């Protein structure tokens, strides 16, 4: 949930997108020359990493460029590594560059902290959610759709709709429809990856962006509902309506 964190994705990696027949690069906005990984997949430096490095002083840039710079080691491995590197850059930018803390870069002269909300109405006020949810077949259950709108909005709107002070992060993974949730992603259905990131690793939604709660950035009700749904293999709205455990909390 979402990484998460990067803006306008441009397909270049050859990773299979959750929309059938299309391809997409990993999370984040690409910038600069592409680098071919050992698997033959081409990844590019993300915009978040470019922006972070540009804000740093020359010595720090030199220290980090081998990993995060164009052609760096971040872009020569796998989509999941690219995603983690992009999240590192977002975190570094928000911690070190917002407010112009480094003399080598321009930074944000206001000194204000970035927003720490993941809800769609906070990140992109007025934007229409892409989530297809309801209590019928072949759609995401209603409460899961509400949860996604609440904590995964980086994945649910165009970056042009984001508020001005949103961090440089854009969730490039697509999981706002039932079919996308069940599409293959790195050897398993997408909902499995969502569970790993949100419920096991607790790094999506990113705490440094969305704020800290009882389970990473997820509150207990959100965590338990998402966990039960994913453990049930992410059923559609009609099935979840019949099989939802009676002892689950409701979203507050």
The full DSSP string for 126-192 is TPPP---EESSTTSEEHHHHHHHHHH-GGGSS-GGGS-TT--S-------SSHHHHHSEETTEEHHH
- Report helix, strand or coil for 189: strand
Q: Is residue 213 part of a domain?
A: yes
∠ CA 236-240-243, rounded to 5°: 140
Give average pLDDT by consecutive 10-residue segment, the chain, 252 residues: 32 35 36 53 80 86 91 87 82 68 37 56 87 97 94 83 70 87 92 92 78 87 97 98 95 80
Q: Is residue 2 part of a domain?
A: no
Report d(CA 168, CA 143) in Å as an integer: 28
Which pLDDT does position 227 carry in this prediction? 97
Query: Which tens digit of pLDDT belongs to each residue from 206-226?
Result: 776 777 789 988 999 999 999
Which pLDDT does position 46 carry in this prediction? 82
Query: Which tens digit of pLDDT belongs to each residue from 227-247?
Result: 999 999 999 999 999 999 999
Report d(CA 86, CA 134) in Å as an integer: 33
Q: Is residue 1 part of a domain?
A: no
Which pLDDT does position 142 carry in this prediction? 96
Work out the percent of the chain whose per-residue pLDDT is above 70: 71
How many domains does the chain divide into? 1
Q: Is residue 10 part of a domain?
A: no
Q: Is residue 7 part of a domain?
A: no
Query: Which tens digit of pLDDT belongs to each residue from 222-232?
Result: 999 999 999 99
Which pLDDT does position 106 carry in this prediction? 38
Range of the domain at 200: 15-243
- Report helix, strand or coil for 188: strand
Q: Is residue 250 part of a domain?
A: no
- Report helix, strand or coil for 143: helix
Do 30 and 62 touch, CB atoms closer than 8 A?
A: no
Which pLDDT does position 192 carry in this prediction? 95
Q: Is residue 3 part of a domain?
A: no
Q: Is residue 249 part of a domain?
A: no
């Amino acid at each position: 949930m979402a990484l998460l964190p990067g803006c306008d994705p441009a397909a270049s990696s050859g990773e299979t997108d959750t929309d059938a027949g299309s391809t997409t690069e990993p999370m984040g906005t690409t910038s600069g020359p592409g680098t071919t990984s050992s698997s033959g997949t081409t990844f590019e430096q993300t915009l978040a990493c470019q922006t972070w490095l540009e804000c740093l002083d020359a010595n720090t840039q030199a220290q980090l460029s081998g990993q995060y710079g164009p052609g760096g080691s971040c872009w020569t491995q796998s989509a999941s590594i690219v995603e983690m590197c992009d999240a590192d850059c977002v975190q570094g930018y928000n911690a070190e560059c917002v407010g112009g803390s480094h003399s080598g870069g321009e930074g944000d002269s206001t000194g204000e902290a970035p927003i720490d909300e993941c809800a769609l109405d906070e990140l992109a006020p007025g934007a229409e959610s892409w989530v297809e949810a309801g209590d019928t077949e072949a759609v995401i259950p209603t409460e899961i759709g509400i949860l996604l709108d609440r904590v995964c909005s980086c994945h649910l709107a165009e970056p042009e709709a984001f508020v001005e002070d949103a961090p440089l992060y854009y969730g490039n993974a697509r999981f706002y429809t039932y079919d996308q949730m069940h599409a293959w992603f790195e050897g398993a259905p997408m909902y499995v990856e969502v569970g790993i990131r949100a419920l096991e690793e607790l790094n999506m939604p990113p705490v440094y962006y969305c704020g800290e709660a009882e389970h990473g950035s997820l509150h207990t009700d959100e965590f338990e509902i998402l966990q039960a749904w994913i453990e049930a293999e992410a059923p559609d709205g009609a099935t979840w309506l019949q099989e939802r455990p009676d002892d689950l909390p409701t979203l507050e």
